[in-house]
Amino acid sequence: MSTFTTKDGTEIFYKDWGTGSPVVFSHGWPLNADAWDLQMMFLADKGYRVIAHDRRGHGRSSQPWNGNNMDTYADDLAELAEHLDLKGATHVGHSTGGGEVARYIGRHGSKRVAKAVLISAVPPIMLKTEANPAGLPISVFDGLRAGVLADRSEFFKDLSLPFYGYNKPDAKPSQGVRDEFWREGMLMSIKGAYDCIKQFSETDFTEDLKKIDVPTLILHGDADQIVPIVAAGLLSAKIVKNATLKVYPGAPHGMCTTLADKVNADLLAFLKS
C-alpha cells in the first residue's frame, strides 16, 4: 500500500495509477478513495495519472483523535501534492471533497493546480444561517451525528438510499452499490465520522471559492437529497470566477456511481479543454 506520513504523524493512504497529466480526487463522507474507482479506471485508460487518497479518519488512513477538520484535510492534500511533486494537476472533489479542494486552493494557492472540478459539492456552506437562508437547519446535522453514535452500521445502510436516489419511485436500486457504501463507511473511525459532519456542514467556503483562479467545472444533480443544489452548486457557480456549471436533471448525490458514464465523459472533455 502507498502511504505517506504528514507533519503531525498521520499516515495517509493513496492510490497513484497511470501516467500523464495528474488528476487528484478528493472523496465525500463517509467514503474513501474507492468511491472514485470508476473515474480512475476510465481516466487512467485515457492516458492520465490518477491519484486518490483516503482522508484522515477514513478508509485505510490513520484514525487520529485530533485534526479531523477542514483546514487539516486541506493541509493533508497539500502535503500529498508536495510528496508526489505534482504540477499542473486537476483537482476533483465530490461532496465533502469539494470543500477540501476549495479550502486547499484557499489556503495553499493554485501553484500546483491547473483546473478544479466540484461535484455535488458542499460549498459555499450547507448550514442554514441568516446569510444563507437556503441552507439546511442544524437539526439535520444533529440527526446525522445521533445516527453515527447510536448505530453507525444501520445508519449507513439507511443513508445509502437517499445518497444514490434509490428511495425514488422510479429507482432501480443496486444492492451491491449500497453494500459498498456501507463497507466504505464502516472503514472510517467513529471519531472521524462524527467530527467530519461539523466540517462539511458548518464550514463557510465563500472566501475559498473567491480565491479559485483556475478553470472550474461544477457538476450537480437537481435531485440531490444530501447536498441540495439550490444552496450549493448554483451558488458556487456564481462565486467562482470562470466557472462552468452543468446541472444533471434528476441526478442524485452519488451520481459519480449511478451516472458514471456521463460524469466520466464530462471530466474527460473538461480535461481536454
Q: Which residues are catalytic?
A: 95, 224, 253
Q: How many CB atoms are located within 10 Å of the residue 9 CB?
A: 9
* CA distances (Å), origin 261, targets 41, 45, 247, 267, 268: 12, 14, 15, 10, 11
CA distance 271 to 217: 10
Angle at 35 between CA 29 and CA 38, to 5 degrees: 155
* Residue 2 main-chain phi, psi, to 5 deg: -85, 125
**169: CB partners within 8 A, 6+ apart:** none
Q: Which three cell numbers stand for residue 186?
A: 464502516
